[in-house]
Structures are given as structure tokens and as C-alpha cells.
Structure 1
Amino acid sequence: MFEMKENKTEIKQLFVLTHNIYFHKELTFNKGRKSYGQGGFWIVRKRDNITSITQYEENPIKTSYELLWKELKTRDSQSLTSIQNIMRRILENYFKFLGNIDLDNLEDKFELEDRLMCRSLISWINDGSHYITEDLYVENYEDVVDRYFLVFKEIFRSQGQIEHFNMMMGEKDIEYIHSSNEVEKEEVFENTAMQETASGKE
């Protein structure tokens, strides 16, 4: 690579593709300099057998944990299984590994009537890790993701960690489950209960 930059080789362009965060960090280490000269960064994603490539002006990869949040921000371009795995890994990293809180115990901080929603989310993200998604019921993809994202956010609120969620997502705190709009709350609860029944889980 250094020979290429100094025009000491016939190779004019080099593409490096990797899934390994640590290899990427070693390869792109730049001694604190912001500029990478003639280098560039892209992220390749595949959803529904369609590949997309996004270019970045700066190195988009910080740490594997930060990358998970970055991927969650672009959930509209992620597959359903990817979103399930992203949410699971974030919860495991932040609560299980750092906070020593088992994921099955996250519902303990919820009000009694809201625990089903948290339990359903944990079941859903585990399904994405261990099972092939089955069409057990007909439901809009975006609705599923949006509903579980709100429950995902509520987990951080219930644990007193909403500031961390807002920092990682780059958004302001907006009340949802504990808002005065009880109709929205009941709608999320009923949809979650319907999915639990359709999946054959109690």
C-alpha cells in the first residue's frame, strides 16, 4: 500500500473487503490524522438479494459496538434478521456484559402491564439468531420493525439509560409508552400479544 502511494509499483488501485472490525482498525490506523489521502471508504449491504454500496468521506467504522448502533440507524435498509441480531447484540453488550443484567430480566423494570412487550422483543431478537424466519402470520415488515424499535428504546428508558440511547441514536428523548396517548400504548400491546399467540409462545 505504501509503495502504491509513492508510485513505486505498477498496481494503481487496491480494494480491501473485510467483515473483521479489528482487521479494519489495524488497516486504517492513521495516527490521528483525519485525511486518508487517496483512500476511500464504502459499506456494502445486501437486502432481498439486492446489493447496495454507500460511500463515506470519513472512516465510518469506529468500534464494533458503535457500528451496531450505526446499522440500527439505517434499519430501513437492513434485512429483518439483521435488525434482530443488531438489537440482540446491543442489548447483550450494554446490559449483559457491561451491566451484568440478564436479558430475560430486563422486563423486571417495566410496569406489570408492559412486561409482555419487553418479553416479546427478547423472544423476537432471539428468533433472529437461532431460527429461520417463518411466515406464521401476515404482517407488514416496517410495522414489525417500528413497533419493536419503540420497545427496544423503552428498555433503555426503564433501566435509566435513555441518555445512552439518545446519544448513540443522535436523537432527542420522546416519550412513547408512557405518553398520555393510551390508544397508541394499547395498540402496541395488542399487536405484541397477537404475535405471541401466532408464534405459539406464551
Structure 2
Amino acid sequence: MHKPLPCLIIIDMQKGMAQPEAGTRNNSDAELHIAQLLNTWRAAGAQVVHVRHISRSSASPFAPGQSGVEFQEALLPLPHEHVVEKNVTDAFINTGLERWLRVRGVDEVVFVGVSTNYSVEASARTAGNLGFKSVVVSDATFAFAMRDYAGVQRSAEEVHAMSLANLDGEYATIMTTQALLEQTAAG
């Protein structure tokens, strides 16, 4: 008998993240990997949570009423899938997500989405601290290029890799889409 799949948590896959103004990013195939995992989870009847960032700033592309706040078409939640709306980077803060997971007996979660060094990392850290067994899927997450604190420009891949290093082993296990699918198929 196969063990049930962990809950798949898809973070901030909104139209605003696909706009050129979002910046230079890595993992151009992340959406394809997220869709592949989402289809696998749906086929198994497993739990899926979609997280949407709602900005408190009216100037943000993620402000209520802006097109950027909408989910990307290929990753739209189904009516029975849980949607969490957050106002900060961490999907657990003031959202009821922990309670929703606990009530359903979920103790394992898989994180995908954006951005690796902000919402994915913040949410995975909290999940780890709360005792959830967590996986972050390295090729189903992505980051944007940015300057570090010393003013050095870092590529999106560098930002992504450092964020995954921050999480690996301490808060989450880092896996690729293929490795996760092979693990889930093996049960």
C-alpha cells in the first residue's frame, strides 16, 4: 500500500511573477515542473494548497484588483483545492495554514513556487520549525537577480542556490522534480 503524498504547497504563482518588471530569473522551466507535480498530486487525489500574495501597497502588481494578483492560468486552483492569502512572505503568518494542515493530519509538505529566497524560504523555515517534514523542489522554484548587502550584483541562480543552501538539512530536504516523482512512485 502506498503512503499518501505530502501536501503540495504552491507559493505565489501569480501573473505578476511572470511580468518582465519582476526581473531576471532562473529556472525558466519551473512552471512546467510545478504543473507536472500538480498533475501528479491531482491524479493521486492528494492535498494541494495554493498560496497567493495580496499586497498591502496599492502600487504593487499584487494589490487587490490588479491583474498581477491573479493565479497563472496553467496553475489555477480547482474548486476543492485550498487557497491561502498572505500579506507577508511567510505563508504561515496570519493565514490559518498550520491549523488547516494539522486538522487534516498533514505532517509532510512539499514547497514549490516563487521566490526561492523570499516566500519559499520563509515558509519552509516556519514549516521546519513547526515540525513538518518539508521538501523544497529546487527546479520547481525560482529566484530573481538582486544586489547583496555589500552591493554586489548576484545572479538569479546565485540567489536561488544560497537560499536552498540556507534550508538544506536544517529546515527542509532539497530535491528535484524527477527525484521527488521517483520517490513518490516508489511509495
Q: Hey, which of these two has a bigger chunk of helix by percent?
A: 1
Q: Report the structure number with the largest CA radius of gyration.
A: 1
Q: Fold conserved (TM > 0.5)?
A: no
**Which interval holds the TM-score relative to the shorter structure?**
under 0.3
Q: TM-score, normalised by structure 1?
A: 0.26
